[in-house]
């Protein structure tokens, strides 16, 4: 039976793999891993037979492949440890859609549901922007607040959904009690955002739900004026 590379060590964010005893992998080799975009990414090129791959997500099984620069690919797998969920940020897990892990982290530390990442986005906002209705529903069930607005601009989750044309998510947010009449720091409501998106379906949605279609922004512009501007 042909030998394959093996995982000889792992941690929360790394694995160490070796192909020391794989005859066809002697010499300069290329090691790749499937990244978050589901594409192969080079993580090592050289003559080492043992490589530590860093920057991986906790509790995740990864696909690897390695070959001599002039040879055939040899595929294998490696998995990171679960790690300390109490200090782990939810945003990365939401991005990759790992619902079971989201549930586990949120149960361990519910406060993380409202913590913004370096892009100033909560886990729920990330799910809204991804148009992931299932993830949005899970996060709300776990306790995420549907009326949390962005820190500086005060943009609501519903505004994000409407501006992106994610109307299944928008309807879900409304069903879960999202405030349809809130305004951002510039006085814009969901109808302003819908008009600015140039999406007729978003405009129809906003007209159905917005309580004040003649609301003026901080510059005195109504949605109708913005549409014609």
170 pLDDT higher than 90: yes
- pLDDT value for 229: 57
The confidence score (pLDDT) of residue 83 equals 56
Q: Is residue 154 located within the same domain as residue 224?
A: yes
Q: Please check whether residues 159 and 57 belong to one and the same domain.
A: no
Structural domain count of the chain: 2
pLDDT tens per residue across span 113-157:
888 877 888 999 999 999 999 999 999 999 999 999 987 889 999
Average pLDDT for the chain: 88
pLDDT tens-digit readout, 49-91? 999 999 887 777 899 999 998 889 999 999 887 655 443 568 8
77 touches 64 (CB < 8 A): yes
Domain extent at residue 45: 6-79
Q: What is the pLDDT of residue 12?
A: 78
- Same domain for 206 and 102, yes or no, is yes
Over 60: is that where the pLDDT of 180 sits? yes
Residue 20 shares a structural domain with residue 129: no
Give pTM, 2 decimals.
0.62
Domain boundary among 14, 44, 79: 79
Distance of CA 112 to the CA centre of its chain: 15
What CATH number is attached to the domain comprising 114? 1.25.40.20
Q: Looking at residue 60, which CATH number applies to its domain?
A: 2.60.40.10
Is 1 contained in some domain? no
Do residue 201 and residue 221 come from a single domain?
Answer: yes
């Amino acid at each position: 039976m042909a030998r394959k590379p093996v995982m000889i060590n792992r941690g929360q964010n790394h694995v160490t793999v070796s192909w020391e005893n794989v005859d066809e992998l002697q010499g300069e080799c290329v090691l790749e891993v499937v990244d978050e975009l589901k594409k192969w990414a080079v993580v090592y090129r050289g003559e080492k037979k043992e490589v530590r791959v860093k920057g991986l997500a906790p509790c995740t099984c990864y696909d690897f492949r390695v070959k001599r620069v002039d040879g055939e690919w040899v595929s294998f797998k490696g998995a990171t440890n679960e790690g300390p969920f109490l200090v782990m940020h939810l945003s990365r897990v939401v991005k990759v859609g790992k619902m079971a892990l989201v549930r586990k982290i949120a149960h361990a530390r519910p406060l993380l549901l409202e913590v913004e990442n370096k892009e100033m986005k909560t886990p729920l906002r990330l799910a809204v922007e991804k148009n992931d209705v299932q993830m949005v529903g899970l996060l709300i069930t776990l306790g995420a607040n549907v009326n949390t607005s962005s820190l500086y601009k005060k943009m609501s989750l519903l505004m994000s959904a409407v501006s992106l044309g994610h109307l299944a998510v928008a309807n879900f947010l409304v069903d879960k009690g999202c405030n349809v009449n809130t305004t951002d720091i510039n006085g814009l409501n969901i109808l302003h955002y819908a008009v600015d998106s140039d999406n007729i379906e978003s405009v129809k949605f906003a007209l159905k739900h917005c309580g004040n279609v003649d609301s003026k922004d901080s510059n005195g512009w109504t949605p109708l004026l913005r549409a014609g501007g």
